[in-house]
Amino acid sequence: MNWNEVIIVTTTEAVDATANLLLEAGAKGTVIEDDWDYASLQDDGSGILKDELPLPAGDQEVLVKAYYPGVDSFPDTLAIIKARMDKMKKIGLNLGKYELRINDIKEEDWEHSWKAFYHPIRITRYLTVVPHWESYQPSQVDEKIIIMDPGMAFGTGTHPTTRLSLEALETTLRGGEKVLDVGTGSGVLSIAAKALGAGTVQAFDIDEIATRQAKENIAFNRYAHDVTVEPNNLLEGIENSEADLIVANILAEILILMVEDAWNNLKNGGCFILSGIIHSKREELENSLLQQGFVLEQSKVMGDWHCLICKKEVEQD
């Protein structure tokens, strides 16, 4: 069988939404090519991403590649992709110059086309993401290994929004916490939370592909076996969870919809980690958080991307 390689040229701001769209359209594998990701790995061989490297602006050109079987229905799939990309543009997402390209590739080449881009990567001080087909030995005693199948995108650690979320978890978790992971995608944040000592972790995602992929990735990591994954639209219908920490790596337009529900599901003193916030959306989202009563404890920035760590503080009588 031949395969169709669909390449979409877009921006850092739109890359996650684009990859998700392609997966929903039936892609069997995806690759995100971001020049900054590659540049950040040109170090002394340790594989640790370098904070001091110049980071891209929000309109940095990024390639999102997806792979579809060469079947008769592919033209219909392509029409769906084009229509959904047009819809994203209409709602104001910055797609940059936006180009869509198609290549035919042979059966024996397609798997290599995306696997060649993924190798073990040290994401934070303690966390290393390892593709499930790679052998890897930790370089230090306290290194935490997260085994992932990166073929289905949704966030594997290298994108700034995911890395910021992982750094925030590493900063915040102390052990034993109850964590809610909203919009879990690949499940990487839930797995990381368990690696960092969280007690109970519940993951939610509205997308059926994401929940299935999250469960598969969790199964690669025995220490995360008790993470639960459920289909749900953000935190709708979830009440009084008394969570210690809620983490969400989603677009700011979606994050703003869950501020009140996050407040209601956190215990007093609990933390709310929000990532996926492009610079132009930060002020609006921060104002919504402050109006709800959250206290901004810390912010992290990579290029045009922001991550906020907030705390629920209610004065006791």
Binding positions for S-adenosyl-L-methionine? 162, 183, 205, 249
Distance CA 164, CA 57 (A): 16
Neighbours of 174 (CB within 10 A): 9
Angle made by CA atoms 178, 205, 65, in degrees to the nearest 5: 125
Distance CA 247, CA 227 (A): 14
Distance CA 152, CA 154 (A): 7
Distance CA 131, CA 20 (A): 19
Tokens standing for residue 3: 């395969």
**What Cα–Cα distance (Å) separates residue 193 from each residue in 23, 69, 234, 307?**
25, 36, 19, 17
Please compute, for residue 245, the number of CA atoms within 13 A of its CA located in the half-sphere on the CB side: 29
Phi/psi of residue 278, nearest 5 degrees: -75, 150
Chain Cα centroid distance, residue 254: 14
Chain Cα centroid distance, residue 109: 27
Distinct helix (H) and strand (E) counts, the chain: 10, 14
- Residue 80 parent element (H or E): helix 74-90
Which residue is associated with the tokens 């900054």?
36
Distance CA 109, CA 121 (A): 24
Annotated binding site: 162, 183, 205, 249
The β-bridge relationship of strands 266-278 and 305-312 is antiparallel
DSSP 80-121: HHHHHHHHHHHTT---TT-EEEEEEE-HHHHHHHHHTT---E
